[in-house]
Structure 1
């Protein structure tokens, strides 16, 4: 990674970024942006087949795959170990894996509630812990990026109470980690988008019979570019929380 002693934006060339949920629309867009910028990516997902497109397009020169369930602490440890084994280091992690079910508080099952809490909250905590261990071992800092949601700021929809609770937990985790870690040059950023045109957003039927790509919200690439900006900020600055909205949404 190019140093920023001159105060200029940092270069992603050869930087190593681990992304969870990389088989999804937003995670895949983040992984591709880093690769297109000359970086190296460890792409994690719970399903190997979800990562097949990335592998087909990018091969294995600057891309490593890590299949596992983020609900397990060992998955985060394996993701970090894959980065070190494949590329010799780890510079940034993006906690993107998420699950959401929409409806009233009694509309989803106990298993669905547990899944949201375990993936969105525990999955983020495990990744942060594994990354911080590595950053401290390497020295020189690092980046923790959490893909949250405006739902966690109580400005989402009206039928996502448990999902909103998990996203609020991510936002507060990000703030607390910033206070804990910034003296070590470990930056923590939470990016909190509103609606994005993805199958994830279509899960509540908001698009009706339309393709999610035809929605009036942001595109996955918009979120990826926010991650890219976050990672290329000079080390003298940090972004704690970034909310993102399409022009069609009000709050």
Structure 2
């Protein structure tokens, strides 16, 4: 016996998700653990990527693996508005358009509010907050020119919801700013078909997490933390969502982390 799916007359078939084939995604901090994982997963799904990072050597493994018809790279500091404009322009020049941007580049230092130098405070604010704003502005200009919507994905942190650990006040402030920016952009832009999603993970096994000091002498790979690929999967799931829906904020925790 065979069964036939029945749906009301005129009701569209279920849409199981959008393909990433040939979509163009800009990723900042693409030379790092999470950014690299996002870049690779988008490419493996058939997408095209503009990979940005401030460190030329960090982008070399991507360039060595993927051809120029799928990947273009740009070295620049996200603290400057010109870098965001250049990343979006690179996507248009190489692939004809930009469909999504992922604001992933971030800086964090662990310690009490008086433990940071003035330069470290400025670096966190400029990279995490201004870098996200500049990329969003560049994306919106391009999305409006194209006229068919787009996606802005912000990689935030649960620290921005004040449910992370202690001794991260300035970092938490920058991540809170990202989350509030995401909510505000959603209200401003969703009527144009531009979706804004903030993905806010807890501890992730990356060199970034190891370097900021929060784990002391312990290597985060020794703990039961999430992996960069987990965050990358969340990003690609977000981009694959049918255009009829959107995700505003997605918090992510490992099973072992209490909050």
TM-score range, shorter chain: over 0.9
Give the one of 105, 108, 125 matched to 1:117: 125
Q: Secondary structure at the match of 2:207?
A: coil
Deviation at 1:216, TM superposition (A): 1.6
- Preserved CA contact (<8 Å) 2:26 2:88: yes
Aligned ranges 1:138-217 → 2 under 5 Å: 138-217=146-225
Going from structure 1 to structure 2, the CA distance change for 1:6 and 1:86 (only over 3 Å counts) comes to farther
Q: Deviations over 1:139-180 (max 9, x none)?
A: 110000000000000001100000000000000000000000
Aligned residue runs from structure 1 range 1-251, under 5 A:
7-251=15-259
Unaligned 5+ residue runs, structure 2? 1-11
CA-CA distance at 1:213 after TM superposition:
2.8
Q: Is the 8 A contact 1:7 1:236 kept in 2?
A: no
The 3-state SS of whatever aligns with 1:200 is helix
Gaps of 5+ in 1: none
**Structure 2 SS opposite 1:234:** coil
RMSD over aligned Cα, in angstroms?
1.4
Decide which structure has the larger Cα Rg and report it.
2
Separation (CA, whole Å) in 1 of partners of 2:168 and 2:121: 11
Tell me the TM-score normalised to structure 1 length: 0.96
Alignment coverage as a number of residue pairs:
248
Q: What's the TM-score, normalizing by structure 2?
A: 0.93
Q: Deviations over 1:191-219 (max 9, x none)?
A: 00000001111124444555433332100
Change (3 A) 1:86 1:5: farther
